[in-house]
Structure 1
């Protein structure tokens, strides 16, 4: 059965995502009446209601929910075609890479550098976003490749229709004041943190998922963590540890900036708390996207090897003072 033109699919997808005809009209630059007409036309084409107009915000019907991911894939392909044509007319090629912060501060730059050396004139646009937004942008055709992380015990966003490339497993470490008793150990157990003043992110932030992981690990070890400070900024958190007033569980990719006065120790309970780092590609990724995915595999493995040889990627004994 026909499903109408791209304009109708775009109007439907925006109404379904934003929950409002007026919000979709604002994005598209149309009148509300025009968006309603596009939506009604698509419903005539399919022969079924696609939006439940009896509730606010608007939500897709069962049929609409079934159609939505297909519409999003079509729209992403259209955006990709438009971008490719723009590149052809301008004589340049651009790759849009979406990635989370600690990947951008660790292994991603080397992959971008190597890709640009192999493809002079290539423009790499980097989008600093968290996993869920990176996947959404990939589906909407606003990114060509995404580097994402999956926390243990946290629901993985839907990646159906995308190709997944495993890059590395990012293990938990513990950042300690250099004079702390636990700094004498080669590895720290979750149980060792009972009663210690921990620094964790706030619950109502993107990093709140990490806090939930730490709290779950502590609960499994039989205790409730003592949260001395709630801080989200990684350098600030590490500075508090270096000052001797708190202990910080952190993933390995975030340890490149540990300051003097702090030390890191691996978590003895591995793989507890480890997160999986992946590259996500569209099913029909082109040659350049495949190339940067391969370079991400290489650079992430190199980073992992350096981390193992230097103690989770940070100079463990920098600033260490023996008691």
Structure 2
């Protein structure tokens, strides 16, 4: 019989690509990972891994078993969700959340949960959507709050279920009034790091009106954008969800008044867990009450 924890190690290796990455994600030593996968090979009776330079790769048998492992882990979650619904008490929920939602949406949702399910433990980590969605697939989190910008689609990972919370307008933020986006071609800009959906989308907005933004400040922390803009050192594009209170900045609509989509994602096999449903309902209500 295959042991589920060893199947998870193979599943993690298929996702992360290296034994070192699996060891870091699961807080094991690489030697422990290697030993457990060697035992899984003995259980399977076939080679699952093959040397590939200084790394290892999955053999054809290894890839096939990794696909079965993903289904076995999903079934295990479905069973646990059904058992949880039949007994008192709620399993903890681990949430990955983008920064702007962590400032506004999550505190209000936690207040609702304190009233509706006071015994429910919710653990929250601020995590970029790209990383959060990956870790959700890898079972590092139970729920992710992420974003999608208009015209900029995110990869749909198999086994994940999305639920849209609503739309969040993105506006030009500046220290003084501006006429329109095109008038900012000579200004310094503050944007999120390269490779993020927010950065790519912002650059596309500038290019659409005929210029390349002069990005002098690259900061992942949106809250750090605000004082730079307020002091007149830069302009930027900021979402409304960032504001806990009335912003001390000038906000100007972009052409077409675009808005990003805020959504939650969970593993489909985990969607019926009572604790997951409670958290999603609280997030939906908190977003609607903004």
TM-score w.r.t. the length of structure 1 is 0.72
Partners of 2:147 and 2:261 within 8 A in 1: yes
Alignment of 1:174-193 (within 5 A): 174-178=172-176, 180=177, 182=178, 188=180, 190-193=181-184
Q: Deviations over 1:129-168 (max 9, x none)?
A: 1223322333333333221112345552333222211111
Q: What residue in structure 1 maps to residue 236 of structure 2?
A: 248
Q: Which has the higher contact order (CA 8 A, sep 6+)?
A: 2
Q: Does 1:195 align with 2:186?
A: yes
- Aligned partners of 2:89 and 2:119 also within 8 Å: no
The CA distance in 2 between the partners of 1:170 and 1:70, in whole Å, is: 39
Q: CA deviation at 1:56?
A: 4.3
Question: Aligned in 2, Cα 1:70/1:267: closer, same or farther, shift over 3 Å?
Answer: farther
Matched, 1:229 2:217: yes
Question: Partner residue of 1:268?
Answer: 255
Superposition CA RMSD, Å? 3.5
Contact 2:2 2:40 in 1 (8 A): no
Runs of at least 5 residues in structure 1 that lack an aligned partner in the other structure: 304-323
How far 1:117 sits from its partner (Å)? 0.7
Q: Which residue of 1 aligns with 2:171?
A: 173
Q: SS at the partner of 1:212?
A: helix
Instruction: Give the Å deviation of 1:278.
Output: 0.8
Give, in whole Å, the separation in 2 of the partners of 1:200 and 1:257: 22
Partner residue in 1 for 2:264:
279
Assess if the C-alpha contact under 8 Å between 2:192 and 2:220 holds in 1.
Answer: yes
Q: Name the CA distance, whole Å, in 2 between partners of 1:82 and 1:194.
A: 55
**Structure with the greater alpha carbon radius of gyration:** 1
* Partner secondary structure for residue 268 of structure 1: coil
Count of aligned pairs between the two proteins: 284
Deviations 1:6-40 (A, max 9, x none): 14313323443454457657854554662342242
Question: Aligned partners of 2:82, 2:138: CA distance in 1, in Å?
Answer: 15
Q: Mind listing any 5+ residue stretches in structure 2 that lack a counterpart?
A: none
TM-score (normalizing by structure 2): 0.79
Corresponding position of 1:10? 8
Alignment of 1:95-134 (within 5 A): 95-134=93-132
Q: Aligned pair 1:211/2:184, yes or no?
A: no
**Cα distance, 1:36–1:228 mapped onto 2, change above 3 Å:** closer
